[in-house]
Structure 1
Amino acid sequence: MNDPRIYYTSLAEERRARATFLQRKYDRLAIVRLVVFFGLVAGLILAWSHSSLVGLISSLILVPLAAYGVRLHLAVGGRATEARVQALLAEGELRALAHDFGHYPDGAAFSQAGHPYAVDLDIFGPFSLYQFLNRTVTAVGAQRLADHLSEPAEHGESARRRIAGKALAEHPDWCLEFRTLGDDLQDDPAYARRLLQWVDRAPRASGTDVRIMRWLAPLLTLTGLWFCFTQSPWQLGLLFFVPAFVMLRRYSEIASEEHAYTAAAGKMLGGYARLLDRVEHRYPGPVSGASRATGRLAYLVSQLDVRYNPFVFLLEISGLWSLQWLYQLDRWRDRHRGDLERWIDELADVDARVSWATLRFNRPTWTEPELTDAPVLEGRGMGHPLLAPDGRVTNDISIHTDGHIHLVTGSNMAGKSTWLRTVGINVVLARAGGPVCALHLRTAALQIWTSMRTQDDLSESTSSFYAELKRLKAIIEAVSTPGDAVFFLLDEILKGTNSRDRHTGSRALIRQLIREKGAGIIATHDLELADLEREAGSRVENYAMEVQTQAGELVFDYKLHRGVSRSFNATALMARMGIKIDPQDIKLTHD
């Protein structure tokens, strides 16, 4: 596989040079095009001045040639834009490889306050896993990627996504071309929803009267015009326009209603057609014929947009313009009623898959997790994906997930919270169907629950302590409910009360979670909880993250060790902030 940095650097340089070359060519051809235009006008004037026959023949030859030349000129501009976009995409990936990914959408709109883990694990929002991963170009793809990260998949579905993502990762060029096609797409989830509502509606203009008048209206118009200009009294010729007026009056409201469903989606459909065409070439089965049909729908919708033209009345009265296209839309809807949702669903899948494939290509040292039915979570060399690789510290984990707890003690800033997030975020990646930031990961189907950032809620008059109790209650209920095994990540539980109540409540909570076969990691400063490991039949294991003092400076290695923490740094940190600590108080506290 190509080295991603070399690949993107080479691609950015080549596409930037190509864009410059094509843009210069486009600019030169623009001057030629202008000269040719004036020459064409002059030539046609001379041809028509010579004779009508010469003028007609010249027009039939020169006008199509000129139109073809314009198309070639615009194609050069399109290729220049495409090369420029691909250069920017490659440069964006180089920034991402340097761990600067703030230029990608962060998915903050997908965040849910009560979600089991999304807030605590930084799944959405600035500097989030979603932002790190996201390369989607459609609104439906962005939603699908968010679903992958927030809704754990069954093992079978995870395996299917993993196989598809690994296969696509071997084709980074295809992924970039797909993203290039969707670069200027401005869609919205509401557009897709309204389209799906529209396609399920009954036909609106498919009656016998419509089928007859579609063909009769132009004939009546020609007859009426002939009568008005050749017969007397000419006013009788207006009677031939009455049937069109009647039909327009009957279907005017229907046309407006149908247009409201489809108008905003017109440009989106054109973009979807281009993307689906690309998908068809790689995955022809699920979306066979989708690009052509979607492009046709985009065209039909665009014809309804003509209703906003001030001169559309002439088209309406002479040919029932809106009714003609309503009829065509009905025919499209009848033909593809069961297809549109499937096509959009497949497009969303592929769009999200591009993000997973890009992640695999960009991070070749990440590994594919092993999903198992055994109640275990085993990881080796596991690191936090959102930490830069050159500063990332990795650790191992091995825990049974049927009623076992790792109790992690340690001083402030030793890395306990980061370790909890490291475990949680990698399990989320595994269940979503992605690779993991680890040398090895073997996991059961775990539902992550966290309690790490509980805050007070003034709108509900809820204190932070009560908010935490509500969160713990939700976790207990999840553990007690049949389904996927719950793996909880708790950071400094019951921190909003006094030390005695906190210790008593924490011991009771740990015992209850174990009885309910819950498993997880609890980070705490309460060293007395470590005594639980020594109880008969205990399912608590003690781990620690220590801090060392070297030359008066605190040194953190962020490594996980077996046992109970014996280092303290809070007093040292307070002393640095100017709080004068009595050495005797330090001795009494540690004793």
Structure 2
Amino acid sequence: MFKSIKKGTEDFGKIKKETFDFFRIEKFFKLSDKAGFHQIISDRTFSDLDMDEIFMFIDRTTSKIGQQLLYHTIRTIPRDGQHAQRFEKCIESLNKNPETKSSILLQLSRLQSDDAYNLPALFLKEHMRKPAWFGIVPALSVASVLAVLMLFFVPQAFIALIILLAINFGFHYWNKNNLYMYRSSVSQLSLLTQVAKNLAESNDLGKTEPEIQDSISAIDSLGAAMSLFKMEAKLQSEIGQLVDYLLELVKALFLIEPLVLFHVLDQLDKKRKEIDQIFNFVGEIDVALSIDFLRKDLPHFCIPNLEGNKNTLTASDIYHPLIDQWVPNSITLAQKSALLTGSNMSGKTTFIRTIGINAILAQTIGTCFAKQFEIPLLRVHSAIRISDDLLSEKSYYFEEVLAVKALLNESRSGDANLFLLDEIFKGTNTVERIAAGKAVLEYLSGADNIVFVTSHDLELADLLRDTFSAYHFTEVVENDDIHFDYQIKPGVLTNTNAIRILELNGYPAEVTQEAFKLARKSGNINVTGSGI
């Protein structure tokens, strides 16, 4: 075991190559209490911002506990910024004593088994209850003990013992399924407690949680009973040995497993708070190390300022971490929102995703992909990745209507919000799209909200000039080739290349000439291209 852990130490802190089992990773988040947080990031927003992929990039945790806590962390924005503050203190403490990091990482690596994913169920799910008839089990156990003792005085008691063994085997194997349900999680709890004990004694980490020693002692008191679960796990891997069969016979005769199982479950039910505290203690140390590793692997990052003025946002050299050849951009908004225009693939949608990703990570792990990032406390909502629902017979436009309505409801929640919208109402006609878009965006940008919206409708910039600052992305066509610089620029897009791109891609001359002719008649923008 130790050799395998030692062998993997060179991978600490690096991007993981393993498969991410999000069904297990999100268990802690799904089961945990959601009350008290400023915001729970919705499934829609998490998907819109590709946060699963962002998680896979930022996850440098060593244990499965740390991985689950990191996922929970980026799905929950706290009201007081305590997440980031606690991680920062832990990072500072660990960096003061770098020689202890290796030993801490080795301890955390003991919790790399997939079985550790089941730990949250021990303190967040309802435990199995004893059936109404369970009182017969201790009675049969006592009867078996008496039968064994009587053998020394009455040999005929052997017949009673055989009958009891046959009956007890039925209860013993009825309980096997129950034991299997808890085998992995309880044995992992024992291991988690050992790791927590070692971490609490390392580098003053225990001082960050004064009550952690009491919680460890409370779970340690169950050590003898929990050893049954570790023994069961070992037997499953080494079955076939004579001693295993003998132990199984003894456990069945005296009904040890059902008695111990329900005793342990009863005790664990009373110690949920302590298990929770140990889980979070170990997980927070792992997440703090993960954040530290992430920062050291970035071209640049910043610790955000979350005390910015309302309706203000400042981002300097901000970038999207999943793009190989990323281009840094900067933007400052003061009492206004942002309308972004530009052609497809020019970078508009990626930019608003970048803003959303950094707004979430700023308020959760205190780390941004930028040289400066300043925002007030914000709830983050989006309507980016919308598609029609054929099974429910909902059109694309109807799905848009529902998504935008949800944002409208959030806009008057009393909290400041960051809204991210891509091509609002593109599922309907131009006239109504512009009219409805103007009305909705003006409504969303009220109160203390900030809105980032992309659109091909340049008319919106004029209609919203009092509440939105206009920006644009564009491409450059040179020597019959298209180039994108992915740089945000102030103002409204004045030159378009859409028809020119059709021309470069071999559209019939009759098509492009007619398109140029009609577009230039509008007189609103400069349409580039030959038009010959």
Q: TM-score w.r.t. structure 1 length?
A: 0.70
Q: 2:527 corresponds to which residue?
A: none
Q: 1:346 corresponds to which residue?
A: 281
Q: Structure 1 residue 378 and structure 2 residue 314: aligned?
A: yes
Q: 1:177 corresponds to which residue?
A: 106
C-alpha change, 1:315 and 1:158, in structure 2 (3 Å) is: closer
CA distance in 1, matches of 2:128, 2:308: 41
Matched-pair contact (CA < 8 Å) for 2:73–2:364: yes
Runs of 5+ in structure 2 lacking a partner? 31-39, 524-532
CA distance in 1, matches of 2:287, 2:49: 20
| Candidates 242, 263, 269, aligned match of 2:189 | 269
C-alpha change, 1:105 and 1:333, in structure 2 (3 Å) is: closer
| Candidates 12, 15, 20, aligned match of 1:105 | 20
Task: Write the mapping of 1:409-558 to structure 2, written as runs, cut at 5 A.
Answer: 409-482=341-414, 484-532=415-463, 534=465, 538-558=466-486
| Candidates 350, 358, 363, aligned match of 2:298 | 363
CA distance in 1, matches of 2:487, 2:498: 19
**Alignment RMSD (CA, Å):** 4.0
Matched-pair contact (CA < 8 Å) for 2:88–2:288: no
| Candidates 78, 84, 104, aligned match of 1:153 | 78
CA distance in 1, matches of 2:222, 2:70: 23
Q: Which moved more, 1:169-178 or 1:194-203?
A: 194-203
- Displacement of 1:577 in angstroms is 2.9
- Displacement of 1:211 in angstroms is 11
Runs of 5+ in structure 1 lacking a partner? 1-77, 229-233
- Displacement of 1:559 in angstroms is 1.4
Q: Which has the higher helix share?
A: 1
C-alpha change, 1:270 and 1:350, in structure 2 (3 Å) is: same
Matched-pair contact (CA < 8 Å) for 2:380–2:418: yes
CA distance in 2, matches of 1:106, 1:393: 31
CA distance in 2, matches of 1:312, 1:446: 59
Deviations 1:483-521 (A, max 9, x none): x31111111111111222211221222222234553211
Quick one: which amino acid aligns to residue 349 of structure 2? S
| Candidates 40, 59, 69, aligned match of 1:144 | 69
Matched-pair contact (CA < 8 Å) for 1:107–1:130: no
Matched-pair contact (CA < 8 Å) for 1:198–1:261: no
- Displacement of 1:544 in angstroms is 1.6
Q: 1:42 corresponds to which residue?
A: none
Quick one: which amino acid aligns to residue 501 of structure 1? E
Q: How many residues in Structure 1 have an aligned counterpart in Structure 2?
A: 486
Q: 2:212 corresponds to which residue?
A: 287
Percent identical across equivalent pairs?
A: 22
Matched-pair contact (CA < 8 Å) for 2:63–2:109: no
Quick one: which amino acid aligns to residue 116 of structure 2? D
CA distance in 1, matches of 2:462, 2:270: 70
C-alpha change, 1:258 and 1:340, in structure 2 (3 Å) is: farther
Quick one: which amino acid aligns to residue 340 of structure 1? I
Quick one: which amino acid aligns to residue 129 of structure 1? I
Q: Structure 1 residue 226 and structure 2 residue 117: aligned?
A: no
Q: 1:186 corresponds to which residue?
A: 115
- Displacement of 1:106 in angstroms is 6.8
Q: 2:526 corresponds to which residue?
A: none
Greater C-alpha Rg? 1
Matched-pair contact (CA < 8 Å) for 1:269–1:297: no
Matched-pair contact (CA < 8 Å) for 2:64–2:112: no
Q: 2:528 corresponds to which residue?
A: none
Q: TM-score w.r.t. structure 2 length?
A: 0.77
Q: 1:86 corresponds to which residue?
A: 9
Q: 2:48 corresponds to which residue?
A: 120
Greater relative contact order structure (CA < 8 Å, 6+ sep): 2
- Displacement of 1:413 in angstroms is 1.8
